[in-house]
Amino acid sequence: MSTFLGMPQGRVPGPAADTAVGQLTGDRPFPAAARDALGNTQLRRNLAHATSTIRAKRAAVVGEVPDWEALREAGSAIKADTMARLPELLEQLEANVTARGGTVHWARDAAEANRIVLDLVRATGENEVVKVKSMATQEIGLNEALEGAGITAHETDLAELIVQLGHDKPSHILVPAIHRGRSEIREIFAREMPGVDPGLTDEPAVLAAAARTHLREVFLRAKVAVSGANFGVAETGTLTVVESEGNGRMCLTLPETLITVMGIEKVVPTWRDLEVFLQLLPRSSTGERMNPYTSSWAGVTPGDGPQEFHLVLLDNGRTRALADDLGRTALHCIRCSACLNVCPVYERTGGHAYGSVYPGPIGAVLTPFLTGITGGSDPNDSLPYASSLCGACYDVCPVKINIPDLLVELRAEHTEAHAARHRLPTSEAAAMKAAAWVMADPKRFARVGRAATRGRHGIRQGKPVLPLPPPLSGWTASRDVPSPPAETFRDWWARTRGDRP
Amino acid sequence: MRIALFVTCLGDVLFPDVARATVAVLERLGHDVVFPEAQTCCGQMHTNTGYQHDAVGLVRHHVDVFEQAMARGCEAVVAPSGSCVGSVRHQHAAVARRSGDEALAVRAEAVAARTFELSELLVDVLGVTDVGAAYPHRVTYHPTCHSLRLLGVGDRPLQLLRAVRGIDLVELPAADSCCGFGGTFSVKNADTSTAMLADKMSAVLATDAEVVTAGDASCLMHIGGGLSRLRTGVRPVHLAEILASTA
Amino acid sequence: MSARDEMLARIRRARGDASEGPPVPGSYRVAGEHAPGSDAVVAQLVDRLEDYRATVVRAGGDDVAIGAAVAAALAGRGIHEVVHAPGVPDAWVRGVHVARSDDGTASARDLDAVPAVVTGSVAAVSETGTIALDGGPLCGRRALSLVPDTHVCVVRVQDVVQTVPEGLGRLDPTRPTTLISGPSATSDIELSRVEGVHGPRTLVVVLAG
Ligand code: SF4
């Protein structure tokens, strides 16, 4: 199998994202990373508390929208339409941003995007930038690239600040410090924030006020800002950032130069399309009717805001996903994080276990679509299996991404890539083939079923008499196995109703 | 009505009581149950674990068997498993299409359109909620993920349970969260699966129920396996078995 | 090949021949059941804004009545000095001891030293409690409504619509626009909403008309 089967004829995937640059992969497979997270009881408590809070809030505000399903349908269709017209829309966006005084740059991968931003910052002569939380810049590892060149990047979102001060990694796409409870946050601030009031309490309002004081001076002096974008409107060249704290407004408004890094999939055709997304996004993400602030701008406005504006359009594996019918739908994601908040796996393991900046259900599909499935032991190959396929993510996704179907497809791509690259099948593949062979024939299947009933003497008090090898031992570590019955159903049927023994 | 029983591989080999109970309920209601003996497995485990190539043959076999049953006058196919019906309804055609077999996909869609999970068949197709059962026990119901989300069975199982005489039905806290089974997920990500199971078991124990029930033998095997390991004394009993019970 | 040309070529190859997306169903609500400026939408806007912990003050529709409400709201907070958007009528700020019209020269640091700002607005959405500022003379440049810690925003009743589509339909996407739904807030600590971070910590809405 040289190519993946989901790909219609004549479509060529772009290159995979380079996992050596940025943060799209961890250093271990998911099960190993998850084991550590599961052992951290404080983390489990924090996550359970935060995700149950946000789930209830989301359910309440979604419940009051009478046309929620129609909005989801529209959101999904707008995204599908966007992907189908992507080259034309990006050219249109570029033309409109340029016409309004902005400059558009194209970045094939993370390294190129970092280089572009670095050159732009250097050209200003500044040695610090303020940043609005942006998944795209985390994905490409921009902060590290800037720091390597002696430029300080100040994260200004409260949760990002908590992560940065705590020398930690983000674990959620919306609330990167979701794994921290208030008392831990108080400790981090007390320890790391210069000049903080030593009497700081763990009241969220007090902690937020401390962040305000800490960053005020930085905002007032900053000359360069870096942001992401939630939407880029092709028709008008309008960029939009959705936020809560006002740190976004500070970055988008006060500096002289603004550099926005945006994945190519964030373009939307028209301004009117935002009437759909600005209803779907806040209710799905923070569980609010509307987020406190949404900023939009088109190019440069004389006398208002940065007088120099650069838009960097990023590929970094997106054209790889685009070539696949299912992978393309992963690009519909508007990064609301609702799927993370309802995911029973994410709720227990947290975001770090996924290795990538995109954790949770969407991360388990988006990351491997961007970086490629190797068929080997790459940590991202384990991500599609990090789900019980319970489907809660699909139910809440505001743009109706069928994440369970994507997971199943990626699992197939993984086993097929493995088979293509290795002469010997895995023991699992061999077992699956054997099972399929048995089940293809009712006589064989009946014989094996009958053998299983005889095997029931091998199970005592829910445990096999002989220990099972991995991975089956993973079952018996925490659960008893049922004793097979004395007779299979088909034998019972044949004996009591059928005409055959 | 003549109804073909899709017993499921797990039901056949490990949980024949569930399948027998399904037959008993339908026969008590006056229906004619047929067991197409050539059936084997729907291929869900293969599909969900990444072996769609291996699943294609199983899909074809399943379609052959139940197409024939329908040709012989069966108007519906029933399985006491939301998960296996979910596989038939949501995966079979897709697996066939992915392998390039459009004709099989179309046939699979026709079989899927006549295939029902037990509570769907009883409530929607046969129009009954009171099946004449009696079950004097304290019971809590876990709505398995595939019944709940893939099939959208809603409160049909609860409608059936509420009509059972003598039952003391107690609501399960956080009922809609996954028990952590997920097929091979339970062994590939055993630690995470166990953490999910632990929370599900706490919820079950909080109800003080004697019996936990569900429409899927696989999830019940998982929850029951955990409850048994902890010697809790709470029994897993399939929905079909409760509905078949008369005393 | 330039990065631009190569990326566009990649996208075209990945997209394939199809260049038409599916039709977008327009079955969601565009207009609400209540008319713009009706009592129902105004009541809903008040409810939503108060839910966000904004302060809402009702005033008559004439400039003098608005001015009285603005002055009272500021005085009640011990604020006697404001900066205001250049298009704000004099009458709106006549009752404030020191009121400076923004001429665009004040730096962010200058604005930081002013306790409050008075602006108008161009539209409001009742279902979401959202007020739109478009950077025009009545709303001022964006920094103005951002840096001072108290923002007094005048919303005219006739500008209040029910739905998000109605609201966005009234805006010009080429202008620098800010949609404001309550004072600045964060949900970053245990996902509980706390009002008051970097943007104005106090939002006073004067609903006029
Ligand atoms: S996949 Fe859907 S639910 Fe998950 S973050 Fe993206 S848009 Fe939100």
pLDDT digits (tens, 9 = 90+) for B145-203: 999 999 999 999 999 999 999 999 999 999 999 999 999 999 999 999 999 999 999 99
Residue A286 Cα to ligand 1 midpoint, Å, equals 13
Residue owning the nearest CA to atom 4 of ligand 1: A339
Which helix (H) or strand (E) is B238 found in, with range? Answer: strand B235-238
Convert A209-236 to b/e letters by CB count within 10 Å (16 or more is b).
bbbbebbeeebbebbbbbbbbbbbbbbb
Do A308 and A404 have their domain in common? no
In whole angstroms, what is the distance from residue B14 CA to residue B81 CA?
A: 13
Partner-chain contact A212 C169, CB within 8 Å: no
In whole angstroms, what is the distance from residue A293 CA to residue A267 CA?
A: 20
Max Cα-Cα span within chain A: 91
Q: Which of A329, A11, A328, A265 is nearest to C13 (CA)?
A: A11
Do A356 and A331 have their domain in common? yes
Q: What burial class does residue B28 get, using C-beta atoms within 10 Å of its C-beta: 0-12 exposed, 13-18 middle, 19+ buried?
A: middle
Angle at Cα C180 formed by Cα C179 and Cα C186, nearest 5°?
A: 120
Q: Are C153 and C132 in contact (CB under 8 A)?
A: no
Q: What burial class does residue A256 get, using C-beta atoms within 10 Å of its C-beta: 0-12 exposed, 13-18 middle, 19+ buried?
A: middle
Ligand 1 pocket test: pick from A173, A242, A284 the residue with the most ligand atoms within 8 Å of its Cβ: A284
Question: Is the shortest distance between the CB of A338 and ligand 1 below 6 Å?
Answer: yes
List % helix, strand, coil for chain C (3-state, nearest 5).
30, 25, 50
Domain at B2-125: CATH architecture:
Up-down Bundle (1.20)
Atom of ligand 1 at shortest range from CA of A366: 1
Q: Which chains touch B (3 or more CB pairs under 8 A)?
A: A
Query: Which of A296, A318, A340 is a domain's end point?
Result: A318
Ligand 1 pocket test: pick from A82, A334, A367 the residue with the most ligand atoms within 8 Å of its Cβ: A334
Q: What burial class does residue A457 get, using C-beta atoms within 10 Å of its C-beta: 0-12 exposed, 13-18 middle, 19+ buried?
A: exposed
Q: How many residues does chain B have?
A: 247
User: Domains of chain C, with CATH numbers?
Assistant: 34-208 (3.40.50.10420)
In a domain, A348, yes or no: yes
pLDDT of residue A4: 44
In a domain, A294, yes or no: yes
Cα distance from B112 to chain A (closest Cα, Å)? Answer: 18
In whole angstroms, what is the distance from residue C206 CA to residue A377 CA?
A: 62
Q: Could you say which DSSP state residue B50 is in?
A: T
pLDDT of residue A468: 67
Q: Are C190 and A205 in contact (CB under 8 A)?
A: no
Q: Could you say which DSSP state residue A8 is in?
A: P
Residue owning the nearest CA to atom 3 of ligand 1: A397
Partner-chain contact A490 B52, CB within 8 Å: no
The chain C residue lying nearest A323, using CA atoms, is C14
Cα distance from B4 to chain A (closest Cα, Å)? Answer: 13
Do A296 and A402 have their domain in common? no
Atom of ligand 1 at shortest range from CA of A337: 5
In whole angstroms, what is the distance from residue A380 CA to residue A368 CA?
A: 6
Partner-chain contact C188 A175, CB within 8 Å: yes
pLDDT for B63-106, tens place per residue?
A: 999 999 999 999 999 999 999 999 999 999 999 999 999 999 99
In a domain, A4, yes or no: no
Question: Which residues on A lie below 8 Å from B221 (Cβ)?
Answer: 482
Do A121 and A217 have their domain in common? yes
Give the count of domains, chain A: 3
- φ/ψ (deg, to 5) at A152: -85, 130
Atom of ligand 1 at shortest range from CA of A330: 1
For residue C130, the cross-strand partners are C125
Strand ranges inside C65-136, DSSP E:
81-84, 98-101, 116-119, 123-125, 130-133
Residue A292 Cα to ligand 1 midpoint, Å, equals 20
Comparing CB atoms, the residue among A31, A34, A392 nearest residue B149 is A392
- φ/ψ (deg, to 5) at A85: -115, 25
Per-residue pLDDT of chain C (209 residues; tens, 9 = 90+): 899 999 999 999 999 876 677 788 879 999 999 999 999 999 999 999 999 999 999 999 999 999 999 999 999 999 999 999 999 999 999 999 999 999 999 999 999 999 999 999 999 999 999 999 999 999 999 999 999 999 999 999 999 999 999 999 999 999 999 999 999 999 888 877 888 899 999 999 999 99
In whole angstroms, what is the distance from residue A209 CA to residue C57 CA?
A: 26
The enclosing domain of A45 has a CATH number of: 3.40.50.10420
Question: Which residues on A lie below 8 Å from B178 (Cβ)?
Answer: 344, 388, 390, 392
Do A481 and A367 have their domain in common? no
Residue A364 Cα to ligand 1 midpoint, Å, equals 12
Do A437 and A405 have their domain in common? no
- φ/ψ (deg, to 5) at B146: -70, -35
Q: Could you say which DSSP state residue A353 is in?
A: G
For residue C154, the cross-strand partners are C206
In a domain, A1, yes or no: no
In whole angstroms, what is the distance from residue A3 CA to residue A298 CA?
A: 41
In a domain, A331, yes or no: yes
CA distances from C144 to A34, A186, A386, C113, C178 (A): 47, 32, 48, 12, 12
Question: Is the shortest distance between the CB of A335 and ligand 1 below 6 Å?
Answer: yes
Q: Could you say which DSSP state residue B149 is in?
A: I
- Residue C201: HSE in the Cβ half-sphere, 13 Å Cα cutoff: 14
Comparing CB atoms, the residue among A344, A440, A442 nearest residue B196 is A344
Q: What burial class does residue A190 get, using C-beta atoms within 10 Å of its C-beta: 0-12 exposed, 13-18 middle, 19+ buried?
A: middle
Do A136 and A258 have their domain in common? yes
Atom of ligand 1 at shortest range from CA of A360: 4
In whole angstroms, what is the distance from residue A304 CA to residue A489 CA?
A: 77
Comparing CB atoms, the residue among C18, C27, C190 nearest residue A84 is C18
A300 close to C (CB below 8 A): no
pLDDT of residue A85: 95
pLDDT of residue C18: 67
Question: Which residues on C lie below 8 Å from A157 (Cβ)?
Answer: 188
Q: Are C57 and C205 in contact (CB under 8 A)?
A: yes
For residue A232, the cross-strand partners are A239, A267
Expressed as residue numbers, the domain containing A489 is 427-497
CA distances from A320 to A1, A91, A370 (A): 17, 19, 6
Q: Are B156 and B189 in contact (CB under 8 A)?
A: no
Partner-chain contact C24 A81, CB within 8 Å: yes
The chain A residue lying nearest B181, using CA atoms, is A388
Q: Which of A255, A129, A99, A233 is nearest to C177 (CA)?
A: A233
Residue intervals in chain B for CATH 1.20.1050: 2-125
Per-residue pLDDT of chain A (501 residues; tens, 9 = 90+): 334 444 556 799 999 999 999 999 999 999 999 999 999 988 888 899 999 999 999 999 999 999 999 999 999 999 999 999 999 999 999 999 999 999 999 999 999 999 999 999 999 999 999 999 899 999 999 999 999 999 999 999 999 999 999 999 999 998 899 889 899 999 999 999 988 988 899 999 999 999 999 999 999 999 999 999 999 999 999 999 999 999 999 999 999 999 999 999 999 999 999 999 999 999 999 999 999 999 999 999 999 999 999 999 999 999 999 999 999 999 999 999 999 999 999 999 999 999 999 999 999 999 999 999 988 889 999 999 999 999 999 999 999 999 999 999 999 999 999 999 888 888 888 888 888 888 888 888 888 888 888 877 777 777 777 766 666 777 888 899 888 899 999 999 999 987 643
Q: Which residues contact A459 (CB under 8 A, 6 or more apart)?
A: A465, A481, A483, A484
For residue B4, the cross-strand partners are B34, B77
The chain B residue lying nearest A30, using CA atoms, is B189
The chain C residue lying nearest A302, using CA atoms, is C141
Do A392 and A479 have their domain in common? no
Amino acid at B213: T
Cα distance from A424 to chain B (closest Cα, Å)? Answer: 16
Partner-chain contact A391 B149, CB within 8 Å: yes
Q: Which residues contact A499 (CB under 8 A, 6 or more apart)?
A: none
Q: Topology of B138-244 in CATH? A: Rossmann fold (3.40.50)
In whole angstroms, what is the distance from residue A384 CA to residue A392 CA?
A: 16
Q: In what order do the strands lie in the sheet with C202-208?
A: C55-59, C202-208, C150-156, C116-119, C81-84, C98-101
Question: Which residues on C lie below 8 Å from A351 (Cβ)?
Answer: none
CA distances from A333 to A366, B45, C50, C74, C89 (A): 9, 28, 32, 44, 44
- The residue with tokens 């130069």 is A257
A243 close to C (CB below 8 A): no
Do A79 and A187 have their domain in common? yes
Are C and A close enough to touch, i.e. 3+ CB pairs under 8 angstroms? yes
Question: Which residues on C lie below 8 Å from A185 (Cβ)?
Answer: 189
Question: Is the shortest distance between the CB of A399 and ligand 1 below 6 Å?
Answer: yes
Which pair of tokens denotes residue A13?
A: 């995937």
In a domain, A14, yes or no: no
Q: Which of A342, A362, A363, A345 is nearest to A354 (CA)?
A: A363
Q: Which residues contact A67 (CB under 8 A, 6 or more apart)?
A: C27, C28, C29
In a domain, A199, yes or no: yes
Question: Which residues on C lie below 8 Å from A83 (Cβ)?
Answer: 15, 21
Do A375 and A450 have their domain in common? no
Q: Which chains touch A (3 or more CB pairs under 8 A)?
A: B, C
Question: Which residues on A lie below 8 Å from C110 (Cβ)?
Answer: none
The chain B residue lying nearest A375, using CA atoms, is B50
Do A286 and A402 have their domain in common? no
Do A455 and A399 have their domain in common? no
Question: Is the shortest distance between the CB of A214 and ligand 1 below 6 Å?
Answer: no
Partner-chain contact C164 A278, CB within 8 Å: yes
Query: Which of A367, A402, A421 is a domain's end point?
Result: A421
Question: Is the shortest distance between the CB of A397 and ligand 1 below 6 Å?
Answer: yes
